[in-house]
A and B are shown apart, each in its own frame.
Chain A
Amino acid sequence: MRFEVVKTVFLKELREMLRDRRSLVVMFGLPLLLYPLLAIGITGMGLKRQKELREQPARVFLEHADAAPRLRELIGQKESGLELETAAPSDPDAELRAGKLDAVLHVPLLAEQRALAGEDVEIRLQLNRSRTEAKFVEDKVRKTISDYERWLIEQRLQRLGVPATVLKPLKTETDDVATSDQRFGKVLAAALPVILLMTGMLGALFPALNATTTERELGTLETLLVTPVGRTELLVAKGSLVLLCGLLTAGLNMLSMALVLLRSVSLASQGTESLRISVGALSLAFLAAVPAIIFFSALVLIAGLLARNFREANSFATPCMLVPMAAMAVGFMEPPLSAGLLVTPVVSTTLIIREVMTAHVSVRAFVLAFVSSCVYAGLMLSLAGRLFSSEQLVNPAWEPISMKGLRRATARGVRRLPAVDSALTLFAVSLLLLFYVSPSWPVLWSHVDPNADRHKLLVTLFGNELLLILAPALFFAWLARWRWAQTFSWRPTRLGVLGGAALVGIGLAPWINLLSGLQQMFWPRDPESARMEAELMVPALAQHPVLVIVTVGLLAGICEELFYRGPLQTAFLRRLPPWGAIVITALLFAGIHLDLHGMALRALLGMFLGWIVWRSASIFPAMLAHGLYDSTALALAAWTIRRHGAERVMTETSIPSFHLTASDAAQLIAGALLLAAGWYFCRKSLRPGPQDIAAEPHAALAAPPAVAD
Chain B
Amino acid sequence: MIRVHQLSKIYEDPDGGEIAAVQDASFCCNAGEIYGLLGPNGAGKTTTLRCLATILTPTSGSATIAGHDLLRDPEAVRRSIGFLSANSGLYARLTPRETLEFFAALQGLRGERLHARVEHVLKLFDITSYADRPNDRLSTGMKQRVSLARAVVHDPPVLMLDEPTTGLDPVVSRTVEEAVLELARAGKCVLFSTHLLPQAEELCTRIGVIGGGRLLGEGSIAQLCARTGADNLREAFFSLVGEVPRAV
- Chain A contacts to B: CB under 8 angstroms: 5, 8-9, 12, 15-16, 19-20, 218-220, 222-230, 391, 394, 396, 402, 404-405, 409, 414, 416-417, 419, 483, 486, 574, 703-709
Given A227-B107, A405-B14, A416-B16: A15 touches B98 (CB 8 Å cut-off): yes
Chain A: minimal CB distance from B23 (Å): 13
Residue of B nearest to A707 (CB): B11
* Binary interface encoding of chain B residues 1-40 relative to chain A, with 1 for a CB under 8 A from any of its CBs, else 0: 0000000000111111011010000000000000000000
Cβ-defined contact, B87 with A703, below 8 A: no
Residue of B nearest to A706 (CB): B14
Chain B: minimal CB distance from A174 (Å): 60
Cβ-defined contact, B103 with A706, below 8 A: no
Residue of A nearest to B103 (CB): A227
CA distance A391 to B50 in the complex (A): 10
Residue B117 at the chain A interface, CB threshold 8 Å: no
Can you sample 10 A-B contacts with CB below 8 Å? A15-B98, A218-B91, A222-B88, A227-B78, A228-B79, A391-B55, A416-B16, A703-B18, A706-B11, A709-B46
CA distance A373 to B32 in the complex (A): 57
Chain A residues lying within 8 Å of B16, measured Cβ to Cβ, are 416-417, 483, 486
Residue of A nearest to B98 (CB): A15
CA distance A705 to B47 in the complex (A): 15
Partner of B85, one of A218, A219, A419, A705: A219
A-B contact count, CB below 8 Å? 103
Chain B residues lying within 8 Å of A483, measured Cβ to Cβ, are 16
Chain B residues lying within 8 Å of A708, measured Cβ to Cβ, are 42
Cβ-defined contact, B87 with A414, below 8 A: no
Cβ-defined contact, A226 with B107, below 8 A: no
Chain B residues lying within 8 Å of A8, measured Cβ to Cβ, are 102, 105-106
Residues of B in contact, count (CB < 8 Å):
45
CA distance A12 to B45 in the complex (A): 32
Partner of A709, one of B18, B21, B55, B98: B21
Chain A residues lying within 8 Å of B18, measured Cβ to Cβ, are 703
Given A223-B88, A705-B12: A12 touches B79 (CB 8 Å cut-off): no
Residue B89 at the chain A interface, CB threshold 8 Å: yes
Residue of B nearest to A233 (CB): B106
Cβ-defined contact, A12 with B94, below 8 A: yes
Residue of B nearest to A218 (CB): B89
Partner of B87, one of A15, A20, A229, A396: A396
CA distance A704 to B58 in the complex (A): 12
Residue B197 at the chain A interface, CB threshold 8 Å: no
Cβ-defined contact, B85 with A222, below 8 A: yes
* Binary interface encoding of chain B residues 61-82 relative to chain A, with 1 for a CB under 8 A from any of its CBs, else 0: 0000000000000011011010
Cβ-defined contact, B55 with A222, below 8 A: yes
Interface centre among A9, A16, A228, A230 (most CB of B within 10 A): A228
Chain A residues lying within 8 Å of B90, measured Cβ to Cβ, are 218, 220
CA distance A474 to B82 in the complex (A): 52
Cβ-defined contact, A219 with B89, below 8 A: yes
Chain A: minimal CB distance from B84 (Å): 8
* 7 shortest interchain CB distances as A-B pairs: A219-B89, A218-B89, A416-B15, A219-B87, A226-B83, A19-B93, A703-B12
- Chain B contacts to A: CB under 8 angstroms: 11-16, 18-19, 21, 41-47, 50, 53-57, 75-76, 78-79, 81, 83, 85, 87-94, 98, 102-103, 105-108, 150
Cβ-defined contact, A223 with B11, below 8 A: no
Chain B residues lying within 8 Å of A19, measured Cβ to Cβ, are 93
Chain B residues lying within 8 Å of A704, measured Cβ to Cβ, are 11-12
Chain B residues lying within 8 Å of A15, measured Cβ to Cβ, are 93-94, 98
Partner of B94, one of A16, A409, A706: A16
Cβ-defined contact, A218 with B78, below 8 A: no
CA distance A239 to B54 in the complex (A): 23
Chain B residues lying within 8 Å of A703, measured Cβ to Cβ, are 11-12, 18
Cβ-defined contact, A226 with B78, below 8 A: yes
Cβ-defined contact, B13 with A9, below 8 A: no
Chain B residues lying within 8 Å of A5, measured Cβ to Cβ, are 106
Chain A residues lying within 8 Å of B11, measured Cβ to Cβ, are 703-707
Partner of A229, one of B12, B15, B81, B106: B106
Question: Beyond A12-B94, A574-B12: 18 further Cβ-contacts under 8 Å?
Answer: A8-B106, A12-B91, A12-B102, A15-B94, A16-B93, A218-B91, A220-B90, A223-B88, A226-B54, A226-B55, A228-B107, A391-B56, A394-B55, A416-B16, A483-B16, A704-B11, A704-B12, A707-B21
Chain A residues lying within 8 Å of B55, measured Cβ to Cβ, are 222, 225-226, 391, 394
Chain B residues lying within 8 Å of A222, measured Cβ to Cβ, are 55, 83, 85, 87-88
